[in-house]
Each structure stands twice: as C-alpha cells, then as structure tokens.
Chain A
Amino acid sequence: MRFDWRLMIATLLFVLLLSLSVFFFYSFKEEPYTPSPSSFRYKYHFVMIARDTDKNFWTKVLYGAETVGKSEGVALEYFDSRSADAKEFERYLEMIILSRVDGILCSVPGSSSFQSLINEAYEKKIPVVALDKETFSNENLSFVGVNSFDLGFKNGVALTNAVKKETKVAVFINLSLADQSYDRYLQGFNQAIKDVKEVEVELIINSKGESISAEEQTQLILKNHPEIQAIVCSDVNDTLGVAKVVIDLNRVSEITIIGSGLTPEIANYIERGVIEGVHAVDPFELGAQGMSTLLRLKQNRSLKERYDMPLFLINRDNVRRFSNNYMIVP
C-alpha cells in the first residue's frame, strides 16, 4: 500500500478530534463547587441595612461604605429592602444580630421593636452606627447623619431668604424621627424664622415619609388652608409628594417649597422652579463616614461617635453641578 500522507493526516485529525471531544467531555464533568476558604478572605463582616425608599441615594451610600471598607478588609453585606415589608426588615436585623456580625450600619425606623433590637445588638457588643436620620434616641448609639436642629435651622433660613412678603408656612416633619429630634428640628426652624416677622408657621404636619401620603396631606392642606404659601419638608419623599401636588394644582408660582434630599426628579423640579431649594447630604460621603466610624468602633478606638454631615443648599444656581457630582453612580 502506497504511503499516502494525506490519508495519514486525515486519520490523525480524526483521532485528535475524537480524543479532544472525549477530553472535553470528561474535563467538564462538574463537581459541586466548594469555595475555598481563601477565596473570601475578610477581616470584618459588616452589615448595612437601610429602609431603602430612595434607591439612588442608598446605592451611593453603599458605594461610599464599600470603598472605605475594601481597604480595611471589610465584607459588607447589604440588605436589599426595596420590596421588603417592616416585618422582614425586622427579621433581617434580628438575624444579623443573632449571627453576631462584626458591625451594623443602619437606617431603620425608630419603632419600639427596632429599638429593642438595637439595644440587643449593643448588649451583644456589636457596634452599631445609625445613618442619615436621627430615628433613635439611644444615648449609646453612634450616629452619622443629618442633625435635625441643623436641618430645621437651615430650612428656615432658606425659606426666609426665599420669601419676601408675608408667608404662612406649613411644615412637614417626618414621624420617623425620634421625639427629641422632632423637637430639635422645630426648634431649629423656629430659631431661623424667629426674627422674620413675615414668616409664620401655620401648620405642622406629621408625615409618614411616604410620597403618596404626603400628596394626600398636601392636597388636604391646600384645599383647607388656601392661605398657605410655603411648605417646608424634612424628608425627601415628602418633598416629592408636595411638589407633585403643587404642580397638579397649578400653584407653582404661588407656593414656595423648601425641601430635603436630592433625587433626579427633585433636581428637575428645582430647575423648573417648582422647588425653591433643598438641603441634602453627599451620600457617598455619608457611607464613607459611616464605615470609618464603624471601623473605629470595632477596633475599639472609640466608644461612641457622632458626626453631623454637612448640609448643602441646592437651588437653581447649583443644581446642575450637584447633580453631576454626586448623582452619577460610579
């Protein structure tokens, strides 16, 4: 038989392909995956749990916290509570406390059940840092967030700067604030308008911190109290709800709105002149500061800390800059 090299090559090719296929077949025989202990090496297991009503905001807070935590070997667990009800929220908090995590960053309602959980955490020596709002009146709790008095005061100043004539004001205060914080907000506000005769607080409304209920309340107010010409909100959702109703009722030019918190929608309203201005914090900075505080607590470098986040007044002049700076999720 004459030696035909082409035949040889073809046969070899076939054998090669066959063996490759067999190899593939056996090499991809999957075994159950067991993550090696080294694949997730971390120093601290922290949890961030927040009542996530404004996803935009909290994504950036998380990013800020993660950025600081990464360099310190922190594995940050985040509870995505967008669709969770209060019970699940509570359950999660309870679970992480029972799991004896290394630290908790939380922004939770100040109800009694949460209070007791936070106390339990403290008893179990789990460092806790409350974020954003002063919902707890616990003396032992560290806090990084908005100083209520400061917010109230600044809101008042902004209002007095915004209105030039006699104005009756309705003030929306979030019920989730702890009692003391509630009072301090009002104190701050009153302090600011104290010397301004034109501005008068007509109504104080307790809000739930939900946009829809704020809309409802606003409608009622404007219907029953047509003399109201300014509305001040301490919560981002209240701000949104109020603005929507004012637009719907076509009373943008008549009513001055001073709010809190910055979202793309609010930024839009500010640009359009619906909202006069808002006070907001830098979410990234909030997360970063919160994480640093927690780390210090964990490392026993401090026992209790409090950090009042700087508030920025965002109005038509600077809304673009602020939007670009810290509303883009990196």
Chain B
Amino acid sequence: MKNWVTQSIRVKLICMFLILSCIFALVNFFSYYSERTLLNRINTLLTNNIKLKEFSADVDNLVNALEKYLVSRNFDMLREYLHYGQMIEATYLQLTPVEESIDNYLLLENIKNMTRSFLHQADKAVQAKRARNSEEYHQNFMEVVRYNTNIKWAIDRLIIKQLEENSRQYLQISNRLIYLQRLSLYLIVAVLIISITVAIWTSLHLTNPLRKLAEAAEAVSNRDFSIAPLPVSTNDEIAVVTEAFNDMVASITRLFEEIKNQSNLENRLKEQELQNLTMKNTLREAELHSLQSQINPHFLFNTLNAGVQLAIMEDAEKTGEFMDKVASLLRYNLRRIEKPVTLQEEAKNVETYFFILRTRYGAERFSFSVQIEAEAAFCQIPLLTLQPIVENALIHGIENLETKGEIIVNAYRRENRLLIEVSDNGRGMDETTLTRLRTNEKLPGHTTGLGLANVRERSRLFLGESCLIKIQSAQGKGTKVTLDLPAVKEGGVGIEDISC
C-alpha cells in the first residue's frame, strides 16, 4: 500500500486504467469465445445435417430419375440419373459425422457401404434396361428402392442421433454460457463498485491536498502566516506543489519578519531624528529667545564697559557696580546654552539678577534670598534653569504687590534628586491659571522669559529626563515652584555638542 501511495499520479492512473481494462477485456473475450464456440458447434451441426439431407435428397432424386428412365427410357431421365449418380459419387465418401464417436462413425460407414452397393445396383438396373431384360432390371430396381429406403432411414437415424448429442452439448454449453454471463455480470458490478471506490478515493486523495492548498493560499493572501506547514504524505506531483507552497510561506514569513524589523529600526531611527530635531528646535528657540533679548552683544558689552569706566571716572561707584552686574548678567545669558552649569553658578547668576532688581525697585521693595546646600552646589543643571522661574515669580508674583515682595530660592539634595524651590509671597494663581501652567499652555500677557516648558524640555534633553515641576499656589497666598531634578555631578551626564 505504501508503495502505491508514493507512486506518481500518472502511474497510479495508468495502472488503474490498465487493470480495469484488462479485467473487462478478459471477461468480454471469454464471454465472446464461449458464444462463438456455441455458435460454431451449432453451425457445424446444422451444416452437417443439411449436407446429409441434401445427400438423402440426391439419392431420392436418383431413384426417381432411374424409375422414370426405366419406365419411359427417356434420355433426359438417363442424363438426370447420371448427373445425380455423379453427385452422389463425388460426395458420399466425404460425408463426416459431427462428433467423434465410434457409433456415428460406424453408422456413416454403413451409409457409405450401402451407397456403394446402391450405385452398383442402379447401374445394373440401367444396364439390364439397356439389355431389355425387364425381369432383371425390375429386380434390380426393387433392390435399389430397398437400398434407398435403408439409406434414408440410416441418414435420418444419424441426424437424430447427432441432434440428440448436440442438444445435450448445446444445453451444457448454454448453461455454461449463462453461468459465465452471470459471472461476468457479478464481475462487472464488482469492478464498477471497486472502480467507483478507487476513483472516489483517488480523487479525494488528489482533491483533499489541493483543497488544503487552496485554503492555505487564501489564508496567506489574507496575511495570515500563522498556518502550519501542510503535510506531505505522498511522493507525487501534489507533494511537489505542497512542498513548494510550504517553502514559499516560510520565505514570506521570514521576509515579513525582516521587513518588520527593518521598519521598526527605521521607526526608531526616525524617532531619534525627531527627538534631535525637536531638541535642536528647542535649543534654537532658546537661542532665538536669547538673541531676541540682544540687539548687538558686542555693542552692548562695549557700551556697558564704557558706562562702567565712566561711572568709575565720575566716582559713581554704585552706578559702576550696577552696570558691571548687568554686563555680568548679559554675559551669563549669552553663554552656550547647551553646556550645563553647576547649581552654584546658576545661583550666582540669580543673585546678580536679584542685585539688579534691588537696584531697580529699591531694596525695600523686594527681598531675595538664595540658599544652596553644600551637597547640591555642584550638581549640574541646564543653563538658565533658575532665572526664568525667578523672572516668573517676579513678573506674575510680586511685581505689583503692595507689600514687600519676597523671593526665596532653596536648593537641597534628597538622595539622588536635586530639589530647587522658588517661592514667593506674591499674588498667587487661581485654579485656571494653575491648570494651564501645569499643562504647558502659553500664558497670555507679558512674557519675555523662556518659560517653564522650555526649562522642562531642556532638562529632559540634558539630563535624560524632564524635571518634575511642582507648582503650589493659592490666590493671594503666594506661589512655590519646586524643580525635581536628577542629581548629576559634574562630569556626569552631558550631551554631545549637537551642531546643526
């Protein structure tokens, strides 16, 4: 069975076809052969009987002709007699029985012997007639008649015997034929059933794999690559196609994975690019902001220096100091924004800012204090982290305050976090404003600073995570902004110089 299954479809089909054809051909041939035998037998028998009967008729005719000749001496009758005589002479020795049986053969021998004597006697009659010996020819004729009767009787007997024997044989053969026909009918039915079964089995065997193949192909076309490889149990053409299909699905799945991976990679790269661009934008924004605040740095510096010198020359120490601080602030603002600074430096800048503010508004108007813990002093933070917040506190908090405004900057370390608090006793914010700030919305009104969003963004860029900005405020009760940054020591995290 295994061998059959692994044959190619062509071989299977051809073998099946050949076997069925052979069976049918054999059955048909045997049936045909039997019928032919039967017909031949009957044919032989009837032909033989006809021959015997014809012979018998010839004998009769001869006797008739002889009688007529003897009566009338008619030469036509004589010719007829001679004609029949010749015919009988020619044929009687060729008479054969149908069956090879001794009895029939002997009976035929008797007939032949009698015929010989009969012809002899007839000739004697004719001669006697010629010799005009009426008594003799009469006697001879009576003998001829006697022979005729016996010959006919013997022929009839032979025909009947042959008929009886052949009837028996005919019945035998006929029964055999009927049996054979019945057998072939059963055989045909059996072969039909077998061939239908085999046809169904073979076609299922062909169509099942094809159907599974079609289903699998449809699944693949619907992008379902999770189908299991189709089983291959045969070695025929179907197997070839199935294996090729399995390979194809595997290849597609593999390629798909590769493309997915590549795409993921590309996506990540794009994300990275986007981040970089955003950072650049942010930086540029910062730069722009910082540049916005500058008209011409060199001019300003020189102007301020000239102012400082002038103040010194005019003994206006305060003015000189004031202008020096302004220059210092300006210088700090123009530093490279991507380079992080220490908290200490930033605090120093804030103090310079406070000095300027005191000078502007008067020492009585505002009070500023900066308190930095020693551990926190050398933590790295982005440039201009504190200043915007302090600016905010000033602008939104205490600028229009009736009473003395206060801004306190506090910085300390908690484990690995750097906490910077900027608190003021200003107007505070209402809930709406608070919410807006928290969600990074741009506040209407006067804004020249970088804004909290910028601080958040830059801290994310520089420190790897955005700093947490906690804003506590209540209307009329002041505001406290807390920056929660990762504490990074100098030489720790820093980003590479990103040049455009």
Q: Once the chains bind, are A45 and B33 in contact (CB under 8 Å)?
A: no
Taking the closest CB of chain A, its distance from the CB of B20, in whole angstroms, is 11
Q: Once the chains bind, are A101 and B110 in contact (CB under 8 Å)?
A: yes
Q: Which of A6, A28, A91 contacts B11 (CB 8 A)?
A: A6
Residues in B with CB closer than 8 Å to A99 are: 109-111, 113-114, 154
Residues in A with CB closer than 8 Å to B29 are: 21, 24-25
A25 to B19 CA separation, bound complex (whole angstroms): 20
- A21's nearest neighbour on chain B, judged by CB, is B29
How many contacts A-B (CB < 8 Å)? 94
Apart from the given pairs A98-B147, A101-B113, 20 other A-B contacts in the complex at a CB distance below 8 Å? A7-B10, A7-B11, A7-B14, A11-B14, A14-B18, A17-B25, A25-B32, A25-B36, A32-B44, A32-B96, A33-B96, A33-B98, A33-B99, A77-B103, A78-B103, A98-B146, A98-B150, A99-B113, A99-B114, A100-B113
Which chain A residues numbered 30 to 54 have a C-beta less than 8 Å away from chain B? 30, 32-35, 39-40, 45
A6 to B16 CA separation, bound complex (whole angstroms): 12
Q: Once the chains bind, are B22 and A13 in contact (CB under 8 Å)?
A: yes
Taking the closest CB of chain A, its distance from the CB of B367, in whole angstroms, is 104
Q: Once the chains bind, are A21 and B26 in contact (CB under 8 Å)?
A: yes
Using a Cβ–Cβ cut-off of 8 Å, how many residues does chain B contribute to the interface with A? 43
Q: Once the chains bind, are B44 and A33 in contact (CB under 8 Å)?
A: yes
Q: Once the chains bind, are B110 and A33 in contact (CB under 8 Å)?
A: no
Residues in B with CB closer than 8 Å to A101 are: 110, 113
Supposing A95-B150, A98-B146 touch, asked if A14 and B11 sit within 8 A by C-beta, the answer is no
Q: Mark B33-54, 1 if CB is under 8 A from A, else 0.
A: 1001100110010011000000
Q: Once the chains bind, are B37 and A30 in contact (CB under 8 Å)?
A: yes
Q: Once the chains bind, are B36 and A28 in contact (CB under 8 Å)?
A: yes
Q: For the complex, is B183 an interface residue (Cβ under 8 Å from A)?
A: no
A34 to B96 CA separation, bound complex (whole angstroms): 6
Q: Once the chains bind, are A32 and B97 in contact (CB under 8 Å)?
A: no
Q: How large is the interface on A (under 10, 10 to 19, 20 to 34, 35 or more residues)?
A: 20 to 34
Q: Once the chains bind, are A45 and B150 in contact (CB under 8 Å)?
A: no
Taking the closest CB of chain B, its distance from the CB of A170, in whole angstroms, is 42
A21 to B114 CA separation, bound complex (whole angstroms): 46
Q: For the complex, is A10 an interface residue (Cβ under 8 Å from B)?
A: yes
Q: Mark A277-313, 1 if CB is under 8 A from B, else 0.
A: 0000000000000000000000000000000000000
Q: For the complex, is A249 an interface residue (Cβ under 8 Å from B)?
A: no
- B112's nearest neighbour on chain A, judged by CB, is A99
Residues in A with CB closer than 8 Å to B147 are: 98
Residues in B with CB closer than 8 Å to A11 are: 14, 18
Q: Once the chains bind, are A40 and B154 in contact (CB under 8 Å)?
A: no
- B97's nearest neighbour on chain A, judged by CB, is A35
